[in-house]
């Protein structure tokens, strides 16, 4: 495992911002070190890998979209139909695939989870499942908003990654040497080492906020509560909002724990994602400014822009895929 990390250090380019060894970088590494050196054990690490990695995974949008819809208006969801059965099967399937990747049994299964085809197919499947599970307009609007925000924010984050080109902790010899002895599942450390300059900011934490935001502000999708009023309740206005907040916290913790990011990377990612979501939330408000409405076609433009970005900029595609490639 150490030889793998060391080879990654040799191939990772120097960071553009923050500069390696500069004041910001040194302080950030000092703040992050206690989390780098945590060790939760094999089973806890496996559980942490789900919130730690799923929210930036395109494949997860097949599940996150209906989850958001059901969270915003649970009473309208049909839990006994064939669509819910398909949803449950997908949950088990994706959990099984990721378990094999995380435990190192079959790391070659990771690339399809991040591929360009998955970026297109997963949200489409998620939208179809959402429409089959619930007929609630507010649930569907919230699910559409989730996809719109995810694609929009990820486009911005990928550009910031390219401009900063910050090295991940997983390709910094000192951080790896101090942390590797505490980790029980080395497969993720090797996975993140493949795109060693994708640290700043965190795409997964961005995705987690884009998942949580329509749940946090769910009242704006189903009532005439003003946007400002919904923010007064944010983020602990209900049990589902509290769970969404926990998802964001666990995502940030997992990214730093697995040496994929520093603390600064996840904090900036959360700020960027909240800014993008709040801007979209305000821009999509109805004429009264009291309710947010997102059409099913709204995510298509940022989706197309993301696919073009991945096609024209191979580096952006590599960053989204965490450097995964077929073996």
State residue 318's pLDDT score. Answer: 64
Whether the CB-CB separation of 126 and 64 falls below 8 Å is answered with yes
> Residue 15 domain-assigned?
no
> Residue 4 domain-assigned?
no
Residue pLDDT, tens place only, 38-71: 999 999 999 999 999 999 999 999 999 999 999 9
Number of domains in the chain: 1
> Residue 11 domain-assigned?
no
Please spell the DSSP secondary structure of 244-265, one letter per residue. Answer: HHHHHHHHHHHHHHTTS--HHH
> Residue 271 domain-assigned?
yes
> Residue 1 domain-assigned?
no
> Residue 224 domain-assigned?
yes
For the chain, what percent of residues have pLDDT higher than 70? 85
Long-range contacts of the stretch 18-24 (C-beta < 8 A, 24+): 18/164, 18/166, 18/200, 18/264, 20/167, 24/264
Does residue 4 carry a pLDDT above 60?
Answer: no
Q: What is the mean pLDDT of residues 286-311?
A: 83
Q: What is the mean pLDDT of residues 178-184?
A: 86
> Residue 130 domain-assigned?
yes
Burial of residue 43 (CB within 10 Å: 0-12, 13-18, 19+) is: exposed
Whether the CB-CB separation of 129 and 88 falls below 8 Å is answered with no
Q: Please report which confidence band the pLDDT of residue 292 belongs to, taking 50, 70 and 90 as the band edges.
A: confident
Q: Please report which confidence band the pLDDT of residue 324 belongs to, taking 50, 70 and 90 as the band edges.
A: low
Residue pLDDT, tens place only, 126-140: 999 999 999 998 899
Whether the CB-CB separation of 203 and 161 falls below 8 Å is answered with yes
Backbone angles phi and psi of 77, in degrees to 5: -75, 140
Please spell the DSSP secondary structure of 150-192, one letter per residue. Answer: HHHHHHHHHHHHHHH-PPPGGG-HHHHHHHGGG-S-THHHHHH
Q: What is the mean pLDDT of residues 147-173?
A: 94
> Which residues constitute the domain of residue 215?
25-319
> Residue 90 domain-assigned?
yes
> Which of 63, 79, 214, 211 has its CA nearest to residue 138?
214
Residue pLDDT, tens place only, 66-118: 999 999 888 889 988 899 999 999 999 999 999 999 998 888 899 899 988 99
Q: Please report which confidence band the pLDDT of residue 233 belongs to, taking 50, 70 and 90 as the band edges.
A: very low
């Amino acid at each position: 495992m150490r030889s793998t990390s060391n080879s990654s250090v040799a191939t990772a380019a120097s960071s553009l911002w923050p500069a390696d060894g500069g004041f910001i970088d040194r302080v950030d590494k000092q703040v992050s070190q206690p989390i780098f050196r945590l060790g939760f054990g094999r089973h806890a690490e496996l559980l942490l890998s789900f919130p730690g990695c799923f929210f930036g995974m395109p494949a997860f949008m097949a599940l996150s979209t209906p989850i958001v819809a059901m969270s915003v208006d649970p009473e309208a969801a049909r839990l006994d139909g064939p669509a819910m059965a398909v949803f449950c099967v997908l949950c088990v399937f994706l959990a099984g695939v990721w378990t094999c990747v995380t435990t190192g049994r079959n790391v070659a299964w990771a690339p399809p989870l991040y591929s360009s085809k998955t970026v297109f197919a997963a949200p489409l499947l998620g939208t179809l499942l959402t429409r089959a599970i619930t007929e609630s307009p507010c649930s569907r609007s919230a699910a559409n908003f989730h996809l719109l925000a995810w694609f929009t924010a990820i486009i911005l984050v990928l550009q910031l990654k390219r401009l900063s080109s910050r090295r991940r902790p997983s390709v910094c010899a000192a951080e790896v040497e101090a942390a590797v002895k505490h980790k029980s599942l080395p497969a993720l450390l090797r996975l993140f080492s493949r795109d060693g300059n994708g640290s700043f900011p965190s795409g997964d934490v961005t995705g987690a906020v884009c998942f949580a935001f329509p749940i946090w502000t769910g009242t704006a999708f189903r009532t005439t509560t003003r946007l400002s009023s919904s923010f007064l309740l944010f983020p602990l206005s209900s049990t589902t909002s509290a769970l969404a907040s926990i998802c964001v916290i666990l995502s940030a913790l997992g990214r730093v724990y697995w040496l994929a990011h520093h603390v600064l990377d996840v904090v900036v990612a959360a700020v960027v994602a909240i800014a993008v979501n709040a801007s979209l939330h305000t821009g999509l408000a109805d004429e009264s400014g009291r309710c947010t409405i997102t059409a099913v076609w709204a995510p298509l433009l940022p989706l197309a822009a993301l696919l073009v970005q991945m096609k024209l900029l191979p580096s952006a595609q590599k960053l989204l895929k965490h450097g995964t490639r077929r073996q």
